[in-house]
Amino acid sequence: MSNKEKMQTTDEDILWTCQYCGEVNTVWLDLTVDGKQDFIEDCRICCRPNRIIVALDESNNIFVESRPSDE
């Protein structure tokens, strides 16, 4: 089977705010990854790298935090 059935959410577009210029960016997130996700994304406006930290709680609520990558 190649088609994914939409039985539960396994991916999502999340919003994060650039810590340098304040622009809101979106990034696709793979929710099949367990636990905390921590990665670097470049702002689409100012191209500066932001550190994105994503955590899920037991109810699959998504918490997104962005930080300056050079902090």
How many residues comprise the chain?
71
Provide the edge-to-edge strand list for the sheet that holds 62-68: 37-42, 49-56, 62-68
The DSSP 8-state label assigned to residue 20 in this structure reads: T
Among positions 10, 45, 68, 70, the unique one binding Zn ion when judged by CB under 5 A:
45
Query: Per CB under 5 A, does 21 bind Zn ion?
Result: yes
Query: Per CB under 5 A, does 49 bind Zn ion?
Result: no
With contacts defined by CB under 5 A, name the span among 28-36, 43-51, 53-61, 62-70 that binds Zn ion: 43-51
Q: What is the number of other CB atoms lying within 10 angstroms of the CB of residue 68? A: 12
Residues making contact with Zn ion (CB under 5 A): 18, 20-21, 23, 43, 45-46
